[in-house]
Structure 1
Amino acid sequence: MRPLRHKALAVLLPLAWSPAFAQQVAPALPAAPTPLASSGLPAVSSRAVRDDLIASAESARKDERWIDALAIYEHLLAADPRDDVAYRMQAITLADLGASYRADELRAQWPSVFADFQRDRLQGDRVARAIGWGMSYPENADDPNAELRRAYDAVRELKTHPERTNWEKTRLRMDSLMATNALGMYQETIDEFEALKREGVDLPAYALGPAGDSYLALHRPHDAQLALQRAVELNPSDIDTQILLAYAYLEQERFDIALPMMQKLVESQPAWIQRAGAESDQANWRRYRAEMTYAQMISFGDDNARAQRIIEQLVRIGPNRSSTQAAMGSLMYRRGHPTAALERYDMALTLDPRNRDAEIGRVSALFETGRIDEAIEANRQVQLRYPKNLHAQRLQHEVDLRVGPIGRIGWVHGRNDSTSANGSPLGTQDYRFNFETWTPLIHNRWRLGIVGDTVDARFVPDVVRYRRIGGAVDYRFGQFGARVSAYEVQEPRLDGAWTVDGSWYLDDTWTLRASVADNDVDTTLQARRAGFKANSASIGASWRPSDLGAIDMRLKHLRYSDGNLRDQASAFGRWRLYTSPHLMIEGLGSGWWSRGSRNDAPYFNPSHDAMVTAGLRFNHMIWRHYDAYLRQRLDIEAGPYWQEGYGTKWVPSVAYRQEWRPAQGHTFEYGVSWAKPVYDGGRERRIAYELAYRWGF
């Protein structure tokens, strides 16, 4: 109700029962409200009536019937604007209703009628409300935290008032936790929170939630868990705090606790809220939030197919919700479909141009589709808009890795024990060392690199080595990529070599590749021992329908310098059979066929041979802490190998590898493999050791 100006009638009321009679100087008061004609309240004709109304209002307040109490106070003030009790309690009741701004305005207009603790409370309520509004939809998209900063400045200003009561000083410190957390000042939040704990302050749930969130942002999930557990104990109906607690478990890799907890939370929330007398039920958006979080956590456990089934249902429920479209975009990206992810991110930003998750996710998807210029510009906009946001800072680190230097070093050593009279094509021992190092991205298209290989094999009685080193140029733009490498061959004799590689990213499912090579590094060392080399041409295709599986196919033609023509065709496929947060099992399958045109070549050169294998891959996450992890992989395969003139024999193989990433941008791989291949009918036992390090994105 908007108050009217002070009426002369109020002055004519009997001063004998006016509580302001003793005041020597009457302050400038706010306008008196218009009496409610239909309120049913008695006219304020005497002190007794006034006191009865004050008692009725107090009774209504005890029953939390704030509107009834407020109507009484306004009725009293309409009769006498100088009723300091009614005026004071009107302001306090407005604060109880959440009208903190108006309540503090009334206090400021007549401050003398409020006790110190009431003054402090109303001022604290006002800044607390300002913090809440500052955390909601921003007034200025270009500066989304402007309101929140003003609210935090108001908190800091009130902290400087020495006359505040101890409780209100403590309350301001607790309220500041919400502001600093929302502003991304996570360390400041934790410092204040831990100081309050040391002082023995019994913190309420609303102060524990921001502390838990800040601990999560600082990668301290166990501390977050302790704070959030206490918050849930104090306020078990707050599903957002329960969601944060589930994330605290998740970031400790406790999927066994987080996922059942979220499933129980979803089941506890009805899809629709029924209210007596309502014409229709109301959608329960608390269940929606819980179910969306549950799906995302399932996806973080690599079960993206199940997560997609849940999110697709939510998209059908709320297709016009920007956050839902952004969540679908994030899922599509994790499933290896960056183009589909971009479509969802663009839909989210159409619905809400200020959707931060969509803005950030869109940058990574643009990089994956080769739209480097757009990705860098999109990242620039994100950094301008969210300069201190933790997610934006992590995105910048990712972008730095994508456009920065990259490279790889690999080493393989094999030991071969052959029963064939001709010995193993790889000798008794073989080594392979290769490296490539590339400059940062130049003009968003180009990289320059230094590349090289060393391959050698120990035969009886000699050693054959092929060594080359050279430079390369790599170009990537949009769907196309090309690389040209030129080498100086230093062993077995001075020579030259070059390769040209090209790729075409058709869509999220198909990628085509082709290459041409002079003095191919894959020329067998037996052939090099005899003084021959080979040129090659190949084409290939990769089919990746989702993160669940893929098939890689390749055709290769080699022309040896002795006139031998060799053709090879191969395909390798994998498909996920089982998924859990720390263990994935895949089925493996491969096929290989080749032929050679010469039967008298002084190296292993079957006229026709073929092989088919099947197997299993066990991929286990040993530990993971955010970007750092250690995983192990076990491959077991077997299949028949056929060679013309020598019949068919089964070939088994086992490989064990570990992948260790101590930090994003640095990955080590190492392992051992065992196999019993067959060459010209002779069985060989091979053990190989591998080690590799790659840097960059």
Structure 2
Amino acid sequence: MQEGRTALQAGDPYLALRKVALARELEPANPDIRRALADVLMQLGAPQGAARALGTQDDLGIRIGQATEAVRWGEQVDGPDPAYPFAGTDAAIAKLDELIADVSSMPTPDAGALRRLQCDRVVALRNRERWAEALSLADELEQAGPLPSYVRQAQADALLATEQPERALAAYGDVLAADPRNRDARAGLFYAQVESEDFDAAFATVDALAAEGAPMRRVGVSRGESSDPDWLDAQLLRAQARRYADMLADAWQLLDPLVASAPAAPYLRMERSELAGARGWPRLAHEEARIAHSLAPDAPGARQVLADAEMRRRQWNAAERHAREAAALRPDNPQVHRLLADIEAHRDAQLLLAIAPRRADGGGRNAPGDGISASARVYTPPLAERWRLLAAAERELDEPEGEHLSRNRYGAGIEGRWPDVTFELVGWANRGLLDHGGADASVQWQPDDHWTLIGELQAFSANTPLRAIEAGVRADAASLGVVHAWNEKRVASASLTTLDFTDGNRRWQLSADYTGTIVDRPTLDVLLRPALYASRNSLRDAPYFNPERDASISLGVDVRHLIWRRYQRSLRQRLLATLGGYWQSGFDSDVIGGVEYSQTYSHDPRSEWNYGVAWTRATYDGDSERSLVAFVRLDQRF
């Protein structure tokens, strides 16, 4: 015993443990030796061994140590049953609650022991993802005095999960001031910077983290090397940073080599799925999500990513099933909550409204002049997953040279949506200048992640000029279109349309355009949009604008900027400037173009407003028209 005390005073607890253990072998029933052995074991961080050393003797300090160890165990070690990933943490919380009750019921409660237990409970609640409870308790403890660094970190995590990134930034800063090498706190700081929309700081934080270490490392005295999971996590975080900033091409370039080097890592496959979905590749996203789920079928994150990919592939019933399973395992996880909100919004009815009054000057008799365009469309909630009924109303009013030309359309129809095909059929009743029925049928087919083919048939087309309707002329239309998207940064499209007028005129229209991104920053994108258009009409001297031949070429600059974003709420602005030349047979060439400014406010998955103003210059039979349009659009689910 004396040799053990001497070793302990000299700072060698392992020698002290050996000596005291030898003393216990000599006198196993000696209570002083058992107590000494328990004290040494507690100093070595082994409360379970200390409890066994004491036997049936109760000790509050050891029980607190056991509870603290249970908190760490539940955080670091998965339970034996994948269906209950928080079983260890739940057991730790139960132990802490029991101890807090015991200490609180003492005649003179030990304030230090009670605070330590409550601090451990904050950490356990954080581990259990009971974010609101963890934050409430941490804030309460903070009022009584500064929090220990490990509790401050748990508080920061809870602040981030409850969408308070500004407070989380300060909390992570305090933790890193005490321990600048704390990797978990540095990762938390990165997420707080992302949620605060400070991407410059987020990039600096994550790039510094990714620059440390190497893919392989040596552990202990072993001469062999093994992969370094911290290094891989930092590289993944670096790629995620670009995805969060909508710099998807850069994110893909960083992620792809990681997946190639570790193809069986489920969390890399999950990230690849989410990134592919963001880039507009739903099939690849679904494939990667299925691979991730097969590698980790019981992981809540894999089910969540699979549900998100199924939503993109229009497998809504399967998506809801997997999302509910993920929510059962992680009921307080914010990402799961957002996914469920998206699914619930999809199950709602949908209202689309648009109104655009117009003031115009010039253009001659065939220009539309002043007027207004308005439309309303309502879709029912999904029926049997794939179908929706719809009702629609449209009004178009032109006032060229003081005349009053109007058309109202009322329609009803059905829409069908499958993973690769969208179909819509609408019957119309036209009122105003000409009362006549009509119908629209459209189909869109996406054979892969890059090609989209579109076909439309219209009886009494909405594109029939009001001047033609005034003269009793209708037009049926048919069109074919194709879109090829290499990725989200490069998209080309072309379409061919023919209109068959009842006065014998046949019109052909050809259009093509390309969109390429030239600036890709976290809150700013700049796109170039060259476009071509040409048309030909078979009839001369029609009572509506009907050039024998015409064509235009234009270049647009599309600037998109994120003004503000707070999780699902955002405000974006867009400036589109177009300049080009127009040629019409029998007339001189002229300059055409326009400027459009708009803002889009998204409140949640159910509500989005788009509003703005546009000025355009067009030419009709050699006479230029200048028009100013204001517009408001609403996409509301209810």
TM-score (normalizing by structure 1): 0.87
Decide whether the 8 Å contact of 2:78 with 2:88 is kept in 1: no
Distance in 2 (alpha carbons) for counterparts of 1:656 and 1:53: 81
Decide whether the 8 Å contact of 2:386 with 2:418 is kept in 1: yes
Match of 1:100 among 33, 38, 47: 47
1:54 aligns with 2:1: no
1:298 aligns with 2:242: yes
Match of 1:197 among 139, 142, 145: 142
Decide whether the 8 Å contact of 2:375 with 2:394 is kept in 1: yes
Match of 1:256 among 197, 200, 213: 200
Distance verdict in 2 for CA 1:607–1:142, change over 3 Å = same
Match of 2:401 among 460, 466, 473: 460
Deviations 1:84-126 (A, max 9, x none): 4543343344344443333333345334xxxxxxx33321221
Aligned residue for 2:211, secondary structure, equals: helix
Which residue identity lines up with residue 283 of structure 2 in the other structure? T
Match of 1:623 among 556, 564, 586: 564
Distance in 1 (alpha carbons) for counterparts of 2:68 and 2:371: 71
1:130 aligns with 2:81: no
Displacement, 1:649?
A: 2.4
Decide whether the 8 Å contact of 1:120 with 1:165 is kept in 2: no
Kindly report which structure 2 residues correspond to 1:141-540, keeping only aligned pairs within 5 A, or say none: 141-162=82-103, 163=106, 165-200=110-145, 202-274=146-218, 277-418=221-362, 420=363, 422-427=364-369, 429-540=370-481
Which residue identity lines up with residue 317 of structure 2 in the other structure? D
Which residue identity lines up with residue 291 of structure 1 in the other structure? Q
Which residue identity lines up with residue 157 of structure 1 in the other structure? E
Decide whether the 8 Å contact of 2:434 with 2:470 is kept in 1: no
Distance verdict in 2 for CA 1:678–1:696, change over 3 Å = same
Distance in 2 (alpha carbons) for counterparts of 1:121 and 1:657: 65
Aligned residue for 1:508, secondary structure, equals: coil
1:90 aligns with 2:37: yes
Distance in 1 (alpha carbons) for counterparts of 2:482 and 2:351: 24
1:549 aligns with 2:490: yes
Decide whether the 8 Å contact of 1:485 with 1:498 is kept in 2: yes
Distance in 1 (alpha carbons) for counterparts of 2:154 and 2:248: 30
CA RMSD in angstroms comes to 2.0
Displacement, 1:71?
A: 2.3
Deviations 1:167-186 (A, max 9, x none): 11101111111121222322
Which residue identity lines up with residue 194 of structure 1 in the other structure? D
Decide whether the 8 Å contact of 1:322 with 1:355 is kept in 2: no
Decide whether the 8 Å contact of 2:366 with 2:544 is kept in 1: no
- Residue 667 of structure 1 is matched in structure 2 by 608
Displacement, 1:230?
A: 1.0
Displacement, 1:55?
A: 0.9
TM-score (normalizing by structure 2): 0.95
Decide whether the 8 Å contact of 2:610 with 2:633 is kept in 1: yes
Which residue identity lines up with residue 51 of structure 1 in the other structure? Q
Distance verdict in 2 for CA 1:321–1:89, change over 3 Å = farther
Match of 2:22 among 68, 75, 82: 75
Bigger CA radius of gyration: 1
Distance verdict in 2 for CA 1:96–1:616, change over 3 Å = farther
Displacement, 1:67?
A: 3.6
Of stretches 661-670 and 139-148 in structure 1, the one that deviates more from structure 2 is 139-148
Displacement, 1:349?
A: 1.7
Distance verdict in 2 for CA 1:432–1:77, change over 3 Å = same
Which residue identity lines up with residue 191 of structure 1 in the other structure? S
Deviations 1:298-343 (A, max 9, x none): 1111111111111122223332221111111111111111211112
Displacement, 1:381?
A: 2.6
Distance verdict in 2 for CA 1:181–1:196, change over 3 Å = same
Displacement, 1:83?
A: 4.4
Aligned residue for 1:430, secondary structure, equals: strand
Distance in 2 (alpha carbons) for counterparts of 1:519 and 1:269: 68
Displacement, 1:460?
A: 2.8
Deviations 1:477-535 (A, max 9, x none): 23222111112222123321211111112111112111111111111112122221111
Aligned residue for 1:196, secondary structure, equals: helix
Distance in 2 (alpha carbons) for counterparts of 1:676 and 1:241: 56
List runs of 5+ in structure 2 lacking aligned partners. none
Distance verdict in 2 for CA 1:197–1:335, change over 3 Å = same
Displacement, 1:424?
A: 4.6
User: Equivalent pairs: percent with the same residue?
Assistant: 24
Decide whether the 8 Å contact of 1:204 with 1:234 is kept in 2: no
Aligned residue for 1:517, secondary structure, equals: strand
Displacement, 1:622?
A: 0.8
Decide whether the 8 Å contact of 2:277 with 2:309 is kept in 1: yes
Aligned residue for 1:151, secondary structure, equals: helix
How many aligned positions are there? 633
- Residue 581 of structure 2 is matched in structure 1 by 640
- Residue 10 of structure 1 is matched in structure 2 by none
Distance in 2 (alpha carbons) for counterparts of 1:528 and 1:464: 9
Of stretches 159-168 and 668-677 in structure 1, the one that deviates more from structure 2 is 159-168
Decide whether the 8 Å contact of 1:92 with 1:122 is kept in 2: no
Displacement, 1:433?
A: 0.2
